[in-house]
Structure 1
Amino acid sequence: MLNLDQILETAIAQGLDRFSMVAVARELGVTDMALYRYVGSREELYSRAAARAHATYPLPAEQTGWRPHLLEVAEQMWQLARRHPGIERYLLDGPYHPETLQLFSESIARFRAMAPEFTDDQAYVLLSRVVSVTLAAADNALSRRWQADPDEPSELFRWTVRALVDGMVAGLADLPGDGSARALGPESAVSP
């Protein structure tokens, strides 16, 4: 019997960047119209499948400091994007499902526990910008072309993340205090 879990897992297996309602239905042995009893559109199926794929993201293990933690976040997010091409759009743009927002919150809380010297806005900016740069790099065919091992981020990517973190930390005193630091935060875009 057809259910939402089967539909989501099939879309993920086919690829977030390329599945179609027709292909998912065909693989499940149903008509594409049968899928519409569970999801209203391909975009809704993408969003729900991306949220499910994101839920497989393991929160980085406790590190000895906040800097190694940020580097581990970048590594794991890069691996998530490699496993699920197309997830970048969901994680950068939303709209987000509650499970995704919960993972975002847990990730920020874990970082804050390691880095109490940062304000909430500073912690959010540091973590979210590392994730954003990682997802942009993972979605960049040109940067992937130069990787020695397609299953591992390049040394240039790792250097870029370290340089980004160093630069952001050096400029935290200039972080806008008008609320714009969190203006692009996930809370503003929640899907049904």
Structure 2
Amino acid sequence: MYTDSGRPRSIWLRPERAGRGPAPGHDRARIAAAAVGLADGGGLDDVTMRRVAAAIGAGATALYRYVDDRDELLQLMADTALAELRFPPVTGDAHADLLALARELGTVCRRHPWLVDLLQARSPMTPRGVDYLEHALAAMQQVDAPGRAKLEAVALVTGLVAMVSRTELANGGSNGEREAAQAEYLRAVVENGEHPHLAGVVASSAPAGDGEDLLGRLLPRILSGLLTPGREPGAASRRESPRSR
């Protein structure tokens, strides 16, 4: 959409350099790199317009020649991080291809922990984010499912990667000590017989090892339900509706 003056609202639809006026002394790539450096060092709280301007040797208001606000600066950062994605080849196995893409995104998230916050807060509708979406949809091209279900699957992949990455980062990349402590506590709790359902699950579940591949376990099962061939969400309930008879 455009403003009343005809100016695109999206930064990605606006030219980096205005047609008139002096040539800019900086560019979006340099600004984004400076912001990413600040976020890599201290998180998103360290990314302010003033600090980014100082990092590129510009005045406090200089960034407003390139971005309208901090939100657009965050978009530049997300796009810069997503440019590091190395898309795995599409094999025709949608589950395997989406899992490979999820692991690649997880690698980038571990390299830039602040990206997790951006992925959970908004869809990465940037040029590189669109490339990510296109690759995910290409991985599902043989799946007989409606477009909406495929878009939901991409959102689910992104959200699950962000969740798992946040957990790994919070635990320093290893869940071993925490999982051992939790298992010890659960064994003590179920011994009193007051939690029979929990006791049954604990008894039948193998202990999770250090570095357990949560994406590998969870994602294929979730996708199996969401991408059932030829089944549109809500179709069964519509068939059972009295109005459809």
TM over 0.5: yes
- Unmatched runs of 5 consecutive residues or more in structure 2: 1-24, 177-209, 236-245
Matching residue's letter, 2:37? A
Match of 2:38 among 14, 20, 24: 14
Partner of 2:86: 58
Asked if the contact 1:11–1:19 (Cα under 8 Å) also holds between the matched residues in 2, the reply is yes
Partner of 1:49: 77
- Unmatched runs of 5 consecutive residues or more in structure 1: 149-153, 179-192
Q: Deviations over 1:129-180 (max 9, x none)?
A: 12211112212344445258xxxxx742x234433421441465686338xx
Partner of 1:176: 233
Match of 1:2 among 26, 37, 42: 26
1:145–1:62 CA distance, 2 compared to 1 (3 A):
closer
Asked if the contact 1:8–1:48 (Cα under 8 Å) also holds between the matched residues in 2, the reply is yes
Partner of 1:94: 122
The CA RMSD measured in Å over matched residues stands at 2.9
Q: Does 1:35 align with 2:92?
A: no
Q: Does the residue aligned with 1:166 lie in a helix, a strand or coil? A: helix
1:29–1:37 CA distance, 2 compared to 1 (3 A):
same
Match of 2:166 among 119, 131, 139: 139
Asked if the contact 2:174–2:211 (Cα under 8 Å) also holds between the matched residues in 1, the reply is no
Matching residue's letter, 2:88? P
**Partner Cα distance (1:22, 1:61) in 2:** 41
Structure with the larger RCO, 1 or 2 (CA within 8 Å, 6+ apart): 1
1:176–1:6 CA distance, 2 compared to 1 (3 A):
same
Q: Does the residue aligned with 1:36 lie in a helix, a strand or coil? A: helix
Shift of 1:10: 1.0
1:175–1:60 CA distance, 2 compared to 1 (3 A):
same
Larger Rg: 2
1:48–1:119 CA distance, 2 compared to 1 (3 A):
same
Partner of 1:159: 214
Partner of 1:124: 151
Shift of 1:27: 2.0
Shift of 1:54: 1.8
**Partner Cα distance (1:42, 1:59) in 2:** 29
Give TM-score, length-normalised by structure 1.
Answer: 0.71
Matching residue's letter, 1:9? A
Partner of 1:185: none
1:169–1:79 CA distance, 2 compared to 1 (3 A):
same
Partner of 1:182: none
Partner of 1:82: 110
Identity of aligned residues (%): 20
1:20–1:130 CA distance, 2 compared to 1 (3 A):
same
Matching residue's letter, 1:159? L
| Paired positions, count | 171
Q: Does the residue aligned with 2:65 lie in a helix, a strand or coil? A: coil
Q: Does the residue aligned with 2:68 lie in a helix, a strand or coil? A: coil
Q: Does the residue aligned with 2:88 lie in a helix, a strand or coil? A: coil
Give TM-score, length-normalised by structure 2.
Answer: 0.58
